Amino acid sequence: MGTTFRGIWELYDDDPEAADAKIWGRRSEPISRRGFLAGSGRAALAAALGGSIAFSEWMPGGVIPAAFAATHKSFKIPGKEPGLVVLNDRPLNAETPAHLLDDDVTPASRLFVRNNGLPPEAIDVASWTLRIEGEATREQKEFSIARLKKEFRHHTYRLQLECAGNGRSEFVPPARGNQWTTGAVGCPEWTGVRLRELLEASGVTSEAVYVAYYGADRHISGEPGKIPISRGVPIAKALQDETLVAWAMNGADIPLLHGHPLRLVCGGFPGSTSGKWLRRIVVRDRVHDGPKMGGKSYRVPCRPVAPGSEVSDADMCIIDSMPVKSLITFPKSGLVHPIGEPLALRGHAWAGERAVARVDVSTDYGKTWQRSKLAKPPNRLAWQRWQAEVRFPSQGYYEVWVRATDSAGREQPMIVPGWNPKGYLNNATHRISARVMK
């Protein structure tokens, strides 16, 4: 009889506590979601890591050790640096490992790719137009890109975008969809015109409730006229200074994979609200009802539910502002560090529509926390740089955890929060592994 081999992610997706027992052996105490790996299991894990585990008494059970978490393969994508992880190739979806997100301004070559459809096949920038229309406008307007650039003031902002499903791979039971880990996020610099000024030029009325987009992307079925995605934002979001119709990213034309020649950018909201290959803006007198607006798409239960529960569409609420979150971008997980020397850490933190108030780091699995230095954002809705320095008291295996707190006092949880059918809004603490040696 042949042997079936199963990967560590698959085992932990099925049953994290059973995976601990299967891989590391028996425990000496029961394990709950905040239980701790103990006894022979802890010894087996220490052997696999090649040494003792510092603060092992606080190491949580049912969680893949950070040293083993980055096990996916990467592939080369045109226009991207080697190292991005492809999760799907039709449509293309790829994430960026945390250590490649260390730039204050995310380069195009390192920005994650999230597409619902296929990019348009032929683009003529000179003839490309954007139409503004809808039930809540007094007149329809049409703008060429040249006219947008000539008639309206240009604005440049760093705006953070994150896929609502970033972190989906950690939900148990598993949620369907691209199994993002931590890298479906970035903060490029965008240049364009304020959507508000285009709406004002079209005579937006007091009946306006939602503003939606339609792009030129093609449905993966190949069926002509079928729309892969058309989402929107409440009118208040559309009228914010930082909500842009953009033609440039980081001072150059937006790359094709990211919406060339024109896209909407709604920083702080799910990335799916920032429509690519922009052709139409529709001002609605109701909540938009385009593809990917209904059912469970980009929605979470209005009230907490038990993991694995069936939730009716009527009990799902649209995601708006993304939750507070942070990332360690330096050093790369898996480092070997000399005992007695401080370790410099840095990364980014963001909080949707809010600002980040503080960022803390821990080297003992969240038992104690140390405050980091946090920089102010260059503008609203940009991520914020944090820096810290930690010391390790002895040799062994460590994990460094990071936790951000937003301006409303909401902090990241240490475990995966709020199970939901589509695996959205996982903002659990990010962690890296370090082996401290002489």
Structural domain including 233 reads 85-318
CB contact at 8 A, 94 and 113: yes
**72 is written with which tokens?**
């996916």
Residue 212 belongs to some domain of the structure: yes
How far apart are alpha carbons 280 and 142 in whole angstroms? 9
Confidence of residue 14 (pLDDT cuts 50, 70, 90): low
Query: Is residue 172's pLDDT more than 60?
Result: yes
pLDDT average, residue stretch 101-113: 97
User: b vs e for 127-146, b when ≥16 Cβ sit within 10 Å of the residue's Cβ?
Assistant: ebebbbbbebbeeebebebe
Q: Residue 31: its pLDDT value, please? A: 38
Structure letter (DSSP) for residue 416: -
Q: Compute, in degrees rounded to 10, the torsion defined by CA atoms 54, 56, 59, 63.
A: 90
**371 is written with which tokens?**
């405050």
How far apart are alpha carbons 366 and 377 in whole angstroms? 26
Query: Is residue 16's pLDDT more than 90?
Result: no
User: b vs e for 333-361, b when ≥16 Cβ sit within 10 Å of the residue's Cβ?
Assistant: bebebeeeeebebbbbbbbbbbbbbbbbb
Lowest mean pLDDT among 115-124, 196-205, 358-367, 373-382: 115-124
Residue matched to tokens 């914010």: 240
Residue 1 belongs to some domain of the structure: no
Last residue of a domain, one of 263, 297, 318: 318
For residue 256, give every residue at least 6 positions away whose Cβ sits within 8 Å of its Cβ, in sequence order, or none.
79, 119, 123
Q: Hey, how many other C-beta atoms are within 10 angstroms of the C-beta on 170?
A: 23
Q: How many domains does the chain contain in total?
A: 3
Same domain assignment for residues 101 and 240:
yes
Q: Could you write out the DSSP letters of every residue in 231-272?
A: -EEEHHHHTSTT-EEEEEETTEEPPGGGTTT-EEE-TTSBGG
Query: Is residue 69's pLDDT more than 90?
Result: no
Query: Is residue 74's pLDDT more than 70?
Result: no
pLDDT, averaged across the chain: 89
Confidence of residue 20 (pLDDT cuts 50, 70, 90): low
Same domain assignment for residues 272 and 342:
no
The residue among 198, 151, 166, 155 whose CA lies nearest residue 380 is: 155
Query: Is residue 133's pLDDT more than 80?
Result: yes
Same domain assignment for residues 298 and 330:
no
Q: Residue 90: its pLDDT value, please? A: 79
Residue 363 belongs to some domain of the structure: yes
Q: Residue 30: its pLDDT value, please? A: 42
Lowest mean pLDDT among 73-82, 119-128, 358-367, 410-419: 73-82
Q: Hey, how many other C-beta atoms are within 10 angstroms of the C-beta on 252?
A: 9
What is the per-residue pLDDT across 216-236, written as a single tens digit (0 to 9) for each?
Answer: 999 999 999 999 999 999 999
pLDDT average, residue stretch 404-423: 96
What is the per-residue pLDDT across 84-105, written as a single tens digit (0 to 9) for each?
Answer: 999 988 798 999 999 999 999 9
Q: Residue 105: its pLDDT value, please? A: 98
Residue 83 burial (CB < 10 Å; 0-12/13-18/19+)?
middle
Confidence of residue 77 (pLDDT cuts 50, 70, 90): confident
Last residue of a domain, one of 278, 296, 318: 318
Last residue of a domain, one of 296, 318, 340: 318
Same domain assignment for residues 272 and 311:
yes
Query: Is residue 51's pLDDT more than 70?
Result: no
Same domain assignment for residues 102 and 232:
yes
| Residues paired with residue 327 on neighbouring β-strands, in sequence order | 348
Q: Which residue type sits at 282? A: V
What is the per-residue pLDDT across 336-387, written as a single tens digit (0 to 9) for each?
Answer: 999 999 999 999 999 999 999 999 999 999 999 999 999 999 999 999 999 9
Same domain assignment for residues 167 and 289:
yes
What is the per-residue pLDDT across 291-333, written as a single tens digit (0 to 9) for each?
Answer: 999 999 999 999 999 999 999 999 999 999 999 999 999 999 9
Q: Which residue type sits at 57? A: E
User: b vs e for 189-220, b when ≥16 Cβ sit within 10 Å of the residue's Cβ?
Assistant: bbbbbbbbbbbeebebeeebbbbbbbbbbbbe
Same domain assignment for residues 259 and 195:
yes
